Amino acid sequence: MSRREVVVTGLGVVSPIANELNEFWEGIKTGKSGIGQVKSMADIDQYPVTIGGEVRGLDVGKYIEPKDARKMDPFSIYGLVAAIMAVEDAAFDFEKLDCQRAGVIASSGIGGMQIMQNECMKAYEKGPRRISPQLIPQMITNILSGYVSIRYGFKGPNFCVTSACASGTHSIGEAMRIIQYGDADVMVAGGAEASIAMLGVAGFAALRATSRRNEDPSTASRPFDLDRDGFVMSEGAGMLVLEGKQHAIARGAKIYCDASGYGRTGDAYHITAPDAEADEAARGMKLAIADAGLSPEDIDYINAHGTSTPLNDKGETLAIKKALGNDLAYKVAVSSTKSMTGHMLGAAGGVEAAIIALAIRDGIAPPTINYTTPDPDCDLDYVPNIFRTMDINAALSNSLGFGGHNATLCFTKCK
């Protein structure tokens, strides 16, 4: 059976950099950092890590009724707002759209951490009878897909993928598959996260996974740099509208790029550490390239997972070399936009997929900011500090999650 072609027709981003797509993209291009001292936690000075990438200035009431937003965990708010932005960007005529052929895969790595944490504290302090009836529906990771489908009446495939920091990328890849095999014409897909809270900040700090460069937040996320000391946790959401290409053309849709390839593998190695040999991360990239009908020499740009942790950046560099071959790996432009956004966990894949769609459209490889001291183990072209104008015909976006979850998307310039 021949597969249907899939394109990207809508983008929505809520992030520490900006909450409007053009402003967000301008910030990414110019190397704007969204990292600062955490303001939403009154007792943040008690934690070993006091920095993060917080969503600021989001006009929630523009998108969601205040009475509804009060019941929702922030991850659902961010995800629903990003989905609304993406659907509005796609500009559907809803009188003509078959909503039984439209679906949602909107995911989170953790889900409603803030409501879970707050209700647990309430139970300990005031007793179990004080627990909110909203606790269960608002903490589960799949509730975001439910919100999006209810908002638009989308009755096609509807679920979530929870694979830690690979959740958003897996969601987009699985949505691609659904359209390719004819089970839907339109899918909203991506991820959302809101874990800057007691459990999130303390938990990742206890793992020694997050940067402790508290005195200089804007330089704390420094992927591939020799002096990196951990990732910076951030929050937000990234959502895409994927659409069958002929469906999009028939309605005269604006098309950002083709969603051409998808690969996913598992390390089967360790619950938090990547496999030092990087074989499966490399194989995921190879699968995405082959799935797109391309060869390694066709890849112009890679948006790396690039977390700014010692093990990830070294391992991902090796994975790129194994996926492309050494000669080609040194020629491809690689950057980590987490240097600017911080690590948005389950939202990262959605936001970074939006970035490669814009990079292809505009012919711009975003920079890796805060790259000052080269690491001998990380010796590729990381587009240091300043964006690069270049023709991007094919790009990869990598996501690697705790548990050994690897996912790669391949987007290409629309033919």
> Is residue 165 annotated as a catalytic residue, yes or no?
yes
> Is residue 270 annotated as a catalytic residue, yes or no?
no
Which of 344, 352, 327, 367 shows the shortest CA–CA distance to 409? 352
Q: Does domain 262-412 have CATH number 3.40.50.2000?
A: no
Residue 59 to residue 36: CA distance in whole angstroms: 20
- Residues in the chain with pLDDT values less than 50: none
- Out of 170, 247, 305, 405, which one is annotated catalytic? 305
Look over the chain and give the mean of its residue pLDDT values, rounded to a whole number: 97
- Out of 170, 247, 257, 343, which one is annotated catalytic? 343
With tokens 């899939």, the residue in question is: 6
- Within the chain, all domains assigned CATH 3.40.47.10 are found at 7-250, 262-412
Residue 378: CB partners within 8 Å, gap ≥ 6? 224, 225, 226, 313, 314, 317
- Out of 165, 257, 378, 410, which one is annotated catalytic? 165
> Is residue 343 annotated as a catalytic residue, yes or no?
yes
| pLDDT at 1 (0 to 100) | 56
| pLDDT at 2 (0 to 100) | 74
Residue 73 to residue 65: CA distance in whole angstroms: 14
| pLDDT at 183 (0 to 100) | 97
Residue 406 to residue 275: CA distance in whole angstroms: 11
Q: State which fold the 7-250 domain adopts.
A: Peroxisomal Thiolase; Chain A, domain 1 (3.40.47)
The DSSP call for residue 275 is P
3-state helix, strand, coil in the chain (%, to 5): 40, 20, 40
Which of 351, 246, 258 shows the shortest CA–CA distance to 13? 351
Classify residue 304 as exposed, middle or buried by CB count within 10 Å of its CB (0-12, 13-18, 19+). Answer: buried
Classify residue 251 as exposed, middle or buried by CB count within 10 Å of its CB (0-12, 13-18, 19+). Answer: middle
Percent of the chain whose pLDDT exceeds 70: 100
Residue 323 to residue 54: CA distance in whole angstroms: 34
